[in-house]
Structure 1
Amino acid sequence: MRMTENADGLFLARASKMGALAVLAALGLCLVTGRPAAAAEVVDLVGRRVAVPDHPRRVVSLAPSLTEMVFALGAGDRLAGVSRYSDYPPRAAELPKVGSYVHPDLERIVALKPDLCLAVKDGNPREAVERLEALGIPVYAVNPKNLKDVMDTMTALGRVLGREQQAREIVGSMGRRIRAVEEKMAGVSGRPRVFFQIGTSPIVSVGTETFAHEIITLAGGINVAEGPDPYPRFSVEQVLGLRPEVIVISSMDRSRIHREIQAGWMRWQGLPAVENGRVFLVESNLFDRPTPRLVDGLEVLARLLHPEVFHGNP
């Protein structure tokens, strides 16, 4: 299972190869050229004061979600580098990579001469952020935990990147679409019990403090794995005992192995989800990556859980 960006922690992951920074300093690579002279001190979304350039031109994104947000704001042309797994939109995959969000390659980041880095609180190592700032590279951090936070993050990034109008349009659209789903779900007669599977061996689901749980609830379902553990583990017997009416399998690419998992559940004919033919595959990034596409995930799941409300409309 590939970990998602909403793992708990305060920049708790530890980056490797930190010793390379001493070499970088000796070589003088820490001097970032071409940075706009004017800068304004702002407070980022984790409460840190950051001197952000008035019009950042070379931005490095340290998480796939941030890469996607920058593109959504129409500022993808400013990205000098992105973290591994930045794959949406497709153009993001062509940009220089700076390591994973858990293990950023600081030498590579510095070599790209960014005037701003974008980081996520949960996932990016605190030490990496501190090292970058010690080298004179400002780091603006965000911390989206739910759909409202995602909208707030879009608004904040819009200000930082000078894309306020685009941010307002995106946030407005997200709000309207969420309200539309909520209005439809207000009239449903029942809420199916949902088991949302994100891991295969062992079986892993989603607890209360996850994006997927919020989406299940808004889409008119009940998360049978809800609880304080964000990623609880289950045996097959435990899942059977929960008697889910819908099983949703989150997959990066709907690969053969995930289709086999789907077929594996279909063998349990006494399970309500199987009896009703409601074992589904969905794209994982629509449910675990904090971007505006979470609303796409909400709409997808609402149609899967309550097709009667949508009257067959796509």
Structure 2
Amino acid sequence: MPKVAVISLFAALSLGLTGCATHAADPGPAAPAGPAAFPVTVGGVAIPHRPDRIVSLSPSATETLYALGAGPQVVAVDSDSDYPPQAPRTALSGLSPSPEAIAARNPDLVVVSADTGGLAAALAKTGVPTVVMPDAKTLDDAYGEFVSLGIATGHRAEGENLARQAKEDIDRIVAATPKPAQPLSYYYELDQTYYSAKSSTFIGQILSRFGVSDIADGAGTGDYPQLSAEHILRADPGLIFLADTHCCGQNAGTVAARPGWSTLSAVKNGHVVALDDDIASRWSPRIVELVRAVSAAVSSAAPAHR
């Protein structure tokens, strides 16, 4: 997905434009997984039987479905769902979904990140349930979505195990990472026009667990402000995280070549961290990989600030 589109989507979701989305952390009553367990209710949506033709219009949900073992039940995913490679990627859009195009896939369950344009109501007329997995605001939200998708697809035990394992792995990684002995700040880059993410965001909350401070806090409006080069240079972050490596070709070299940026502590000390764009912008089970990358970066940068 183009980085500007990602930022726009984040901003829209943070403003609550999720239609009739319900939080996945509260899936509602459900029986144990298995064919006989259905019907189940997830997020207020009744699913009459174990779905065998799932359409996912959310890259995060797509990754989670495959991690749960529900991949064989998935018949189509949106154009931005590029992981895992075997996912049946199509031209379907999660940003501007077409009920007709989705219905043509004959789904018995549709998973989306937002009920854009009244999609759920349109599909309900054809008898297709639509489960909304909204953007995770916290790690607990992400864990809850793993469980909810497990219930919705007949993989409840796998969903619970996935959530438990992710939480244990993340807690262990954070606990094993030495906290900076002196203040350590970071700049998190969403694109090369300096859009960033505050500590109130999902990614910001993850980074905050490592005892580092966000230079975007207090700057601009909203959770994803556009910073100025002057603000970044003035803040002199000890760490720079680049979430625009694949989309926009950014790396330590391009950052150092920006006017004045070679003087930044993060650049001088070699603490410009290239992240995988997709992992950094999704709340799938691969958040463990993101946490591991942040841990390595903080462990490396902290000694330079002692």
Which TM-score band applies after superposition, normalised by the shorter structure? 0.7 to 0.9
Which residue, out of 103, 112, 122, partners 2:105? 112
Q: Does 1:262 align with 2:255?
A: yes
Which residue, out of 132, 135, 138, partners 2:129? 138
Are the equivalent residues in 2 in contact too, given 1:208–1:214 (CA < 8 A)?
Answer: yes
Matches within 5 A, 1:234-313: 234-251=227-244, 253=246, 256-258=249-251, 261-265=254-258, 268-307=261-300
Which residue, out of 170, 175, 180, partners 2:167? 175
Deviation at 1:56, TM superposition (A): 0.6
Q: Deviations over 1:229-287 (max 9, x none)?
A: 21111221111011111111112527645566323248533322122121221112222
Are the equivalent residues in 2 in contact too, given 1:254–1:281 (CA < 8 A)?
Answer: no
Paired residue for 1:28? none
Which residue, out of 64, 73, 86, partners 1:69? 64
Which residue, out of 197, 203, 209, partners 2:189? 197
Q: Deviations over 1:126-176 (max 9, x none)?
A: 412221112221111122222111111101111111112222221121111
Question: Higher strand share goes to which structure?
Answer: 1
Paired residue for 1:55? 50
Q: Which runs of 5+ in 1 are unaligned?
A: 13-35
Q: Which runs of 5+ in 2 are unaligned?
A: 20-34
Q: Distance in 2 between matches of 1:259 and 1:186?
A: 24
Partner SS for 2:243? strand
Paired residue for 1:42? 41
Q: Deviations over 1:2-40 (max 9, x none)?
A: 43354323236xxxxxxxxxxxxxxxxxxxxxxx99962
Q: Distance in 2 between matches of 1:293 and 1:281?
A: 16
Paired residue for 2:31? none
Give the 3 Å change call, closer, same or farther, for CA 38–64 of structure 1 in structure 2: same
Q: Distance in 2 between matches of 1:131 and 1:251?
A: 35
Paired residue for 1:219? 210
Paired residue for 2:28? none
Are the equivalent residues in 1 in contact too, given 2:247–2:277 (CA < 8 A)?
Answer: no
Paired residue for 2:81? 86
Q: Distance in 2 between matches of 1:64 and 1:247?
A: 25
Q: Deviations over 1:155-198 (max 9, x none)?
A: 11111111122222211211111211232246542341000011
Residue type at the aligned position of 2:289: D
Are the equivalent residues in 2 in contact too, given 1:213–1:226 (CA < 8 A)?
Answer: no
Residue type at the aligned position of 2:150: G
Considering only aligned residues, what root-mean-square deviation do their CA atoms show, in Å?
2.6
TM-score of the aligned structures, taking structure 1 as reference length: 0.80
| Matched-pair identity in % | 27
Are the equivalent residues in 1 in contact too, given 2:40–2:152 (CA < 8 A)?
Answer: no
Q: Distance in 1 between matches of 2:105 and 2:247?
A: 35
Aligned length: 278
Are the equivalent residues in 1 in contact too, given 2:42–2:151 (CA < 8 A)?
Answer: no
Q: Distance in 2 between matches of 1:127 and 1:157?
A: 21
Are the equivalent residues in 1 in contact too, given 2:199–2:207 (CA < 8 A)?
Answer: no
**Structure with bigger gyration radius:** 1
Are the equivalent residues in 1 in contact too, given 2:252–2:272 (CA < 8 A)?
Answer: no
Paired residue for 2:24? none
Give the 3 Å change call, closer, same or farther, for CA 37–60 of structure 1 in structure 2: farther
Q: Distance in 2 between matches of 1:218 and 1:138?
A: 37
